[in-house]
């Protein structure tokens, strides 16, 4: 009964394919929440959700899985809770981590990977990993009133074939409409379903401006000296220094350290959901990262040292 309208289009065999699929979603924000919800409602059997961030009030304008009661909590953890309310048949595994070359193997079981991130370094890392492991993935990005989507296959042009000069504009700087992020995520999810159903999907770069109703399909050619296509996986070889990261415009710092999470649960007075410990000063993740409200790097380091450890 749950999928009968959908099965009129894809059939029982198609529905079984979705049930047996595993989709990794990197970034559970404006794009990722929409993709996560649509895939869960479609009956995709397993979802792997990866996000290092916490929910802020400004996210609620476009991150459709979250509400005001979720502010301050881990995006990955809350998304899992919301999906459990939508479809208990979907198995959700969460990783509240900063994805890097040392932990990217958490997506190794994925049938397909969805890029719903907001930074190019992570995208290039995903590009290298998926090419090396012959895993299809779908690039997506949205800003202002428009966005891009491109499915990338093991033998198709890759991200480095068409992205060289990266705009420094971010949603914090120039804004974004929720109709743009929702539309781009819906297009990304539609291509995901087609790939899982083993229908033909071309590796085209799609551009959609929802405000001006402009839609384009762009052909991308392989770049002769593309390092990824020539199996030089530079981003997989990089060691990621994430000891201190300032989140632009948010008044928050990410500090990373080595901790015993179980010991920290007993020592730190806060709310623990199994993946994070939340206090009024910081959110501590299981992998030792803490998101700290502070006016400077020095203040953030001081809070980490005082309340969490050296």
By annotation, the residues acting in catalysis are 171
Q: Is 309 left (phi over 0), alpha (psi -120 to 50) or beta?
A: left
CA-wise closest residue to 35 among 161, 160, 196: 196
126 burial level (CB within 10 Å; 0-12, 13-18, 19+): buried
Q: 30-42 and 75-86 helices cross at what angle (nearest 10)?
A: 30
How many angstroms separate the CA atoms of 41 and 195, rounded? 17
Phi, psi of 28, deg, nearest 5: -110, 65
How many angstroms separate the CA atoms of 79 and 70, rounded? 10
How many angstroms separate the CA atoms of 163 and 75, rounded? 28
Please check whether residue 245 is in contact with residue 253, taking contact to mean a CB–CB distance below 8 angstroms: yes
């Amino acid at each position: 009964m749950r999928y009968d309208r959908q099965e009129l289009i894809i059939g029982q065999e198609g529905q079984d394919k979705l049930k047996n699929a595993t989709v990794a979603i990197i970034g559970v924000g404006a794009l990722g929440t929409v993709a996560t919800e649509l895939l869960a409602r479609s009956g995709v059997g397993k979802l792997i959700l990866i996000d290092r961030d916490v929910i802020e009030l400004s996210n609620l304008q476009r991150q459709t899985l979250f509400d005001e009661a979720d502010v301050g909590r881990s995006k990955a953890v809350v998304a899992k809770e919301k999906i459990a309310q939508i479809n208990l048949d979907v198995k959700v595994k969460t990783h509240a981590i900063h994805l890097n070359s040392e932990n990217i193997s958490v997506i190794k079981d994925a049938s397909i990977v969805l890029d719903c991130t907001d930074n190019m370094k992570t995208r290039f890392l995903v590009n290298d990993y998926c090419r090396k492991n012959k895993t299809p993935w779908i690039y997506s990005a949205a800003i202002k009133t428009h966005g891009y989507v491109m499915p990338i296959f093991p033998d198709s042009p890759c991200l480095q074939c068409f992205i060289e000069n990266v705009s420094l504009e971010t949603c914090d700087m120039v804004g974004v409409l929720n109709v743009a992020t929702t539309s781009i995520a819906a297009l990304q999810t539609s291509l995901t379903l087609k790939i899982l159903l083993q229908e033909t999907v071309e590796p085209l770069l799609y551009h959609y401006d929802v405000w001006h109703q402009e839609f384009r399909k762009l052909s991308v050619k392989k770049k002769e000296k593309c390092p990824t296509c020539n199996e030089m996986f530079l981003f997989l070889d990089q060691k990621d220094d994430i000891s201190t990261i300032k989140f632009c415009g948010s008044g928050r710092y990410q500090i990373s350290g080595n901790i015993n999470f179980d010991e920290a649960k007993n020592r730190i007075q806060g709310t623990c959901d199994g993946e994070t410990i939340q206090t009024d000063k910081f959110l501590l993740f299981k992998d030792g990262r803490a998101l700290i409200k502070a006016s400077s790097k020095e203040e953030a380091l001081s809070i980490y040292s005082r309340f969490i450890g050296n």
